[in-house]
Amino acid sequence: MGEKQLFAIRGAVQCRNEAADITDQVSGLYDEILRLNSLDEEAIVSVVFSVTGDLDEKNPAAALRQSGRAQNLALFAVQEARVKGGLERTIRVLIHCYLPPETEIRHSYRNGAEVLRPDRAP
């Protein structure tokens, strides 16, 4: 299997406060992070979501699991700290995973959330 190192991969996405859009956006973000990092779910330790207070139609952890992904992973969701001028309608994710030490991690910011980290935009 080879030597592995623990990494934390970040991402964020904006979405409408609709259950279907939350599910679509969270699933798309998750899939993109896995693809960008050649990451298999077996290498993931945990997935933590934060959600701005204006998104209350669906829990992103439940949305991911109900989409058929992350069936055996530890998932957790919290409400994002309320900050004046903060980006609204945003779900952030933090994925802890094991990858080879030489891996160059690629984060993902999508659908308007690119403004949070323009230095990590494609």
Give residue 121's pLDDT.
Answer: 63
Burial-class residue 1 by CB neighbours within 10 Å (0-12, 13-18, 19+).
exposed
- Does 121 or 39 have the greater pLDDT score? 39
Higher pLDDT, 122 or 12: 12
Closest by CA position to 97, among listed 40, 59, 22: 40
Convert the pLDDT of each residue in 24-80 to its tens digit: 999 999 999 999 999 999 999 999 999 999 999 999 999 999 999 999 999 999 999
Query: What is the reported pLDDT for 122?
Result: 61
Closest by CA position to 112, among listed 23, 16, 17: 16
Query: Tokens 């919290």 correspond to what residue?
Result: 78
Spatial CA neighbour of 105 closest among 31, 34, 25, 48: 34
The helix (run of H) or strand (run of E) holding residue 63 is: helix 60-66
Pick the residue with more confidence: 114 or 63? 63
Is a pLDDT exceeding 60 seen at residue 1? no
